[in-house]
C-alpha cells in the first residue's frame, strides 16, 4: 500500500497537464491515497523555496476540481538542471522518504522521463504521462497538448488563409515542435496548406521557391507554407546576406534564416508583390485542452494511480492504435520517432 503519492509537471507546459493532475487527484482520493503536488518539476523535490508550500503542497480534491479545463499547469513547471546529477537526486529521494511519498507520477517529455528513470533506479516507483505539445515521443501516438496545439495552429492558419486569399498573397507560417515536424505536418494537412517544411526532411530554399512557383503556375496565388520551428536545422546552406543585399534588401551579415527572412527571399525568387510571414508562437501552448487531450489526460491520470497502487512502476503511459497503454520507461525512451514521410510527400505534391 502506498502511504502517499506525489505528482509533478516538468519540462515545457502543455495543455492537458491540469486535466491529468485532476484525474490523478480524483483517482487517488477514490483509492484512499493522500496526494502531494510537487511544484516546478523536480525543483520542488530539492526544497529550494523558503516556504515549503512553494515546493510541496497537499492536493485536496477541492483544490484541483476546478483546474481540469485550464491551460498551463497549476503545479507550475521549470527546468531543474541539477537533477541530472546523482548528488541532487539523492536529496530528492530523501525529501520523498521524509514526506512518506512512496510513488511518483511525472507528467512531462522525454527529459522528465529520464529523470523518472533515474528515480526508479534509486528505488522510487514512478509512472510517466507524456506531456509535450511536440509529439516527439516515439512510443506513443499522442502526447498531452499536441492536439490542442494543432487546433490552435489550424485556427490561426485558416484566418491567415482568409486574408491571403483576399490579397492573392502567399504566406509563410511558423509553428512550434522543436525537432519534431508533427505539429507542422498535421496543421498543413488539416488546413489544405500547399507546402510543409520540417526538420526530418532535408530541404533547400531553391526547392521551396520551385514549389511555390509551381503553385503560382497553376493559378494558386495564395499558397500557405507551413514551417516547423526546427526546420532550419535541415536546411541546405543558403547565402542569405548575399541574396538579400544583391536584391536591395538590407540584411546583417551572418543573420540566420527565419520565417520572416524566408518570406522575403521567396517574394524575390518568385517575383511576388508580397509574401508575408507569421510566427504563431506561445499561444500554441496556452490554450484550453481539446476534448481529445482532456480525454487522454483523464484515462492516463487514472491508470497512473492504479499502476502505482498495484505495485507496477517504471512505466510510461501512451497511446497506441487509439488505445491507452503503458510500457517500461527504458523501452519507451529507446523507441525511434516515426515521421509520416508519405503524408509529408502527399502535402507537398498536390
Ligand atoms: P521535457 O521533459 O519536456 O523533455 P526537458 O528536457 O527540459 O523537458 O527536461 C525536463 C527536466 O527533466 C530537466 O529540467 C531535468 O530536471 C530533468 N531531466 C532531463 N534530462 C535528465 C536526465 N538525463 N537525467 C535526470 N533528469 C533529467
Label the pairing between strands 315-320 and 323-328: antiparallel
| 340 occurs within a structural domain | no
> 134, 136, 147, 182: which is the annotated catalytic residue?
134
| 127 occurs within a structural domain | yes
Separation of CA 111 and ligand 1 centre (Å): 3
Residues 318 and 217 in one domain: no
| 169 occurs within a structural domain | yes
Last residue of a domain, one of 249, 270, 285: 285
For residue 60, the model assigns a pLDDT of 87
The mean per-residue pLDDT over the stretch 13-17 comes to 97
The mean per-residue pLDDT over the stretch 189-203 comes to 98
Residues 141 and 151 in one domain: no
Domain harbouring 133, CATH code: 3.40.50.450
Separation of CA 10 and ligand 1 centre (Å): 8
Residues 53 and 136 in one domain: yes
Reported as a single tens digit per residue, the pLDDT across 291-350 is: 999 999 999 999 999 999 999 999 999 999 999 999 999 999 999 999 999 999 999 999
| 350 occurs within a structural domain | no
Residue 53 pLDDT > 90, yes or no?
Answer: no
Between CA 284 and CA 152 the distance in angstroms is: 6
Active site residue 147: no
Residues 247 and 153 in one domain: yes
Between CA 180 and CA 115 the distance in angstroms is: 21
Cβ atoms of residues 284 and 149 within 8 Å: yes
Residues 32 and 128 in one domain: yes
32 band by pLDDT with thresholds 50, 70 and 90: very high
| 232 occurs within a structural domain | yes
For residue 51, the model assigns a pLDDT of 86
| 61 occurs within a structural domain | yes
Residue tagged 517544411 (cell numbers) = 197
DSSP per-residue string spanning 4-69: EEEEEE-SS--TTHHHHHHHHHHHHHHTT--EEEESTGGGGGGT-SSSGGGTEEE--HHHHTT-TT
Mean of pLDDT over the chain: 96
Long-range contacts of 236-240 (CB under 8 A, 24+ apart): 236/202, 236/203, 236/204, 236/205, 238/204, 238/205, 238/265, 240/265
Domain harbouring 268, CATH code: 3.40.50.460
What is the domain range of residue 247? 147-285
Cβ atoms of residues 280 and 150 within 8 Å: no
Residue 146 pLDDT > 90, yes or no?
Answer: yes
How much of the chain, in percent, has pLDDT values that exceed 90? 95
Residues 152 and 253 in one domain: yes
Q: Is the pTM of this model over 0.75?
A: yes
Residues 294 and 187 in one domain: no
| 98 occurs within a structural domain | yes
Cβ atoms of residues 124 and 329 within 8 Å: no
For residue 1, the model assigns a pLDDT of 85
Separation of CA 46 and ligand 1 centre (Å): 14
In angstroms, how far is CA 161 from the centroid of its own chain? 24
259 band by pLDDT with thresholds 50, 70 and 90: very high
Residue tagged 537533477 (cell numbers) = 83
Residue 52 pLDDT > 90, yes or no?
Answer: no
For residue 63, the model assigns a pLDDT of 83
Residues 131 and 255 in one domain: no
Which of 61-75, 159-173, 235-249, 317-331 shows the lowest mean pLDDT across its residues? Answer: 61-75
| 265 occurs within a structural domain | yes
Number of domains in the chain: 2
Ligand 1 within 6 A of CB of 10: yes
Closest-CA residue, ligand 1 atom 14, reads 79
Ligand 1 pocket test: pick from 41, 82, 115, 329 the residue with the most ligand atoms within 8 Å of its Cβ: 115
Amino acid at each position: 500500500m502506498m502511504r502517499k503519492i506525489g505528482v509533478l509537471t516538468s519540462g515545457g507546459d502543455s495543455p492537458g497537464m491540469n486535466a491529468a493532475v485532476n484525474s490523478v487527484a480524483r483517482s487517488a482520493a477514490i483509492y484512499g491515497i493522500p496526494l502531494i503536488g510537487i511544484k516546478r518539476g523536480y525543483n520542488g523535490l530539492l526544497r529550494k523555496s523558503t516556504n515549503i508550500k512553494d515546493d510541496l503542497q497537499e492536493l485536496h480534491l477541492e483544490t484541483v476540481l476546478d483546474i481540469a479545463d485550464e491551460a498551463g499547469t497549476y503545479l507550475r513547471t521549470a527546468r531543474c538542471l541539477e537533477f541530472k546529477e546523482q548528488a541532487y537526486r539523492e536529496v530528492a529521494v530523501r525529501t520523498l522518504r521524509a514526506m512518506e511519498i512512496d510513488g511518483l507520477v511525472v507528467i512531462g517529455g522525454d527529459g522528465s522521463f529520464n529523470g523518472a528513470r533515474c528515480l526508479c533506479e534509486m528505488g522510487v516507483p514512478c509512472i510517466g504521462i507524456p506531456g509535450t505539445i511536440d509529439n516527439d515521443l516515439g512510443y506513443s501516438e499522442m502526447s498531452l497538448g499536441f492536439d490542442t496545439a494543432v487546433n490552435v495552429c489550424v485556427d490561426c492558419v485558416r484566418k491567415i488563409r482568409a486574408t491571403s486569399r483576399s490579397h492573392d498573397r502567399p504566406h509563410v507560417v511558423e509553428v512550434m515542435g522543436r525537432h519534431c515536424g508533427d505539429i507542422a505536418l498535421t496543421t498543413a494537412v488539416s488546413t489544405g496548406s500547399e507546402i510543409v517544411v520540417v526538420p526530418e526532411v532535408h530541404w533547400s530554399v531553391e526547392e521551396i521557391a520551385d514549389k511555390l512557383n509551381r503553385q503560382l503556375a497553376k493559378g494558386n496565388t495564395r499558397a500557405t507554407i507551413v514551417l516547423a520551428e526546427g526546420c532550419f536545422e535541415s536546411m541546405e546552406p543558403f547565402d542569405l546576406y548575399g541574396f538579400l543585399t544583391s536584391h536591395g534588401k538590407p540584411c546583417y551579415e551572418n543573420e540566420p534564416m527565419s520565417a520572416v527572412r524566408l518570406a522575403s527571399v521567396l517574394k524575390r525568387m518568385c517575383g511576388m508583390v508580397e509574401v508575408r510571414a507569421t510566427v504563431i508562437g506561445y499561444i500554441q501552448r496556452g490554450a484550453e485542452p481539446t476534448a481529445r487531450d482532456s480525454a487522454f489526460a483523464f484515462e492516463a491520470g487514472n491508470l497512473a494511480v492504479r499502476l502505482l497502487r498495484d505495485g507496477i512502476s517504471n512505466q510510461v503511459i501512451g497511446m497506441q492504435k487509439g488505445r491507452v497503454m503503458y510500457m517500461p520507461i527504458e523501452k519507451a525512451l529507446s523507441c525511434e520517432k516515426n515521421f509520416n514521410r508519405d503524408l509529408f510527400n502527399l502535402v507537398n505534391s498536390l
